[in-house]
Structure 1
C-alpha cells in the first residue's frame, strides 16, 4: 500500500462529500489532473505551492485503489508524482485532516504513513 496525499480547500472538500466527486483545485482543473504527493514530497510541495494558504485539508488515499486513472509522472528533478486523471470519489479517501499553518506560514503536518 502506498498512501498519497492531496491538499484541498476545506469548502471544496465539503462540497465533494455532498456531491460524491472531488474535481480538484483550480490548478488541478487547469492542468487536467489532480496533483498528489508522496509522504516524502508533500511538505516540500506545500511550502512551494501553498505557503500561507489557510483552510486546507490533507487528504490521504491508498494509491492502489485508484486504478488506471492514476499515473506516476516525472516532475521537479525527475521525481515521480502521482496524478489522478479524473475526479476523486470521496468514499475512497482513507483520511482527511485539517492542515494548520505554523508561525512561519508553513503547514504543520500530522505524522504521515
Structure 2
C-alpha cells in the first residue's frame, strides 16, 4: 500500500468541498483555498517533502478553526474537523515512519564505518 493515500484522498475531498462552496456562494476566497488543497493533494501524493510540510501546517490550522466553529455550535463543521484530523493523523504517521527508517539507515552506516 502506498504511503499517504488517505491524506491525498482527504485533501482532494476537502478541495472538492471547497470548490462547491466557491460555486454556491461565488467566493474567490473559497476558490483559492480549493486550489491550494487540490495542489497539496497532488504534492502529497507524489511525496514531495515541501508539500507534506505545507499540508501539515494547512491541515493543522484548518483543524483548529473547524474545531472552534464546532465548539461554537456549527454542526456542519464536524465533517471538516474529521477530515482535517485524519489528514493530520496520516501525515504524522508518515513522518514518524520516515524518521524511523532514516535513523535505522544512519545506524547501519555508522556500524559499517566502524
* Structure with larger RCO (C-alpha < 8 A, sep 6+): 1
TM-score interval (norm. to shorter)? under 0.3
TM-score w.r.t. structure 2 length? 0.26
